Amino acid sequence: MDPYFPEHGDPRYRVHRYELALDYRPGPNRLSGTARINAIAGRAALGEFVLNLADLKVGRVRVDGRQPHYTHRGGRLRVRPAKPVRAGAAFTVEVQWSGNPRPVHSPWGGLGWEELEDGALVASQPIGAPSWYPCNDRPADKASYQISVTTPSAYAVVAGGRLLTRTTKASTTTWVYEQPAPTSSYLVGLSIGKYQTVLLGDPGLGGVPQHGHIPAQLLGDFSRDFARQPQMMDFFQELFGPYPFDEYAVVVTEEELDVPVEAQGLSLFGANHVDGSRGSERLVAHELAHQWFGNSVSIADWRHIWLNEGFAKYAEWLWSERSGGRSARQLAASAHRLLASLPQDLRLADPGRKSMFDDRLYERGGLVLHTVRCALGDAAFFRMLRAWAQLHRGGTVTTAAFAAHVARFAAEPVDELVRAWVQGAVLPPLPGPGADPAAGQWRS
């Protein structure tokens, strides 16, 4: 069980694939769906298992075609198959459900399915996925997805992955998306709205297809604010290795969002993040970097969230340095001064549920990467970073795994350095000027 969210996820089995068929009506906010879940039992026979599903009505459940006993209370669909599933055996679960989806409650407000004035979007981190589909809701259980959504034809449907088909029949259109890469449940993104679709840059031979889905009235500002995303993509591939998915999509809603939301192969921004003057470009970089760090390379449980956010924060600093803004050294110094003025009671390696989205975690996480860069030198640091992304592509990681990985690229021991930054609460000093990377010397 995840130590921060013990009611979410069931480690007794793992899911290989989800096939979701949804029908959504925006006016009444009415969702009905069928899920076909292909899973594999763990090391013990499976007499029962749990799926997470919020306050929606369950109409039918089948396990390998047979009716099980099940209960649905408190966001947990507890299923007892008619015959226990053998240890290590594959099995299939089918669930039908319907209702008016709404966000699940959390310390950070509502999470998951959010009804908009004219459409809907999904922002699930960390526990919002059960607001709209049944899942084994833990970040380490990654699966492939096929998502089919039928909705009135005036609306576009955007999901992470490749659009397989779009079929119009009478007044509705069915959109079918495929995401073959292993995906955590909270990273399954979806947006339903009235958008114009634009191509960002020219993917060319072997390039990454990038599309924007934007309300018509925001198209002009969007074209300026996201103009440098193709260069950003090239730059991050240079530093981190090949983009880990088939495509990348950006959606801008007509409404404001507190922060952008990353999903696998997809990022969601609010209208407030589009101003025509690149005022949120650091966030564009942050969300794109999550495709490598957080989405492809995922955390084993929520204690390790700094491995998502610290890496994305440092990517912001690297992009600033490359694009003519402040250098990573300057941004690190500024972050260190800020953290030195704040309470020093947060441990990156286990911040606690209340502090897992604390701004200090993001900034200190970025400082870890900068400190490691200073210790290793640019050549070894960026080899380390690329190897981290490639070795763990599609998998899960921990803080201990990162520390061991860094050590393999260090000419001298760095265990105590890394331990001070990720295990200790007191803010260590920033490396001195002599250890700072030289501007312009780190490009691979």
CA pair distance 324, 303, nearest whole angstrom = 35
118, 29 in Cβ contact below 8 A? no
The residue from 70, 186, 362, 363 that is catalytic is 362
CA distances from 173 to 22, 157, 263 (A): 12, 9, 23
DSSP-assigned letters across all residues of 185-197: GGG--EEEE--EE
Catalytic residue among 281, 287, 316, 321: 287
Strands lying side by side in the sheet with 57-63:
57-63, 90-99, 30-41, 13-25, 143-152, 172-183, 162-169
316 labelled as ligand-binding? Answer: no
- For residue 232, what are the CA distances in angstroms to 101, 134, 286? 36, 35, 10
Respond yes or no on whether the N-terminal peptide bond of residue 260 is cis (omega within 30° of 0): no
Quickly list DSSP for 63-103. Answer: ETTB--EEEEETTEEEEE-SSPBPTT-EEEEEEEEEE---P
Burial, 441: exposed, middle or buried (Cβ in 10 Å; 0-12, 13-18, 19+)? exposed
What 3-state DSSP class applies to 36? strand
Whether the Cβ atoms of residue 274 and residue 220 lie closer than 8 Å to each other? no
Residue 362 annotated to the active site = yes
Residue type, 97: W
Is 286 annotated in some ligand binding site? yes
Cβ burial, residue 25 (10 Å; 0-12/13-18/19+): middle
Retrieve residue 49's tokens.
Answer: 């298992």
Active site residues: 287, 362
Annotated binding-site members for Zn(2+): 286, 290, 309
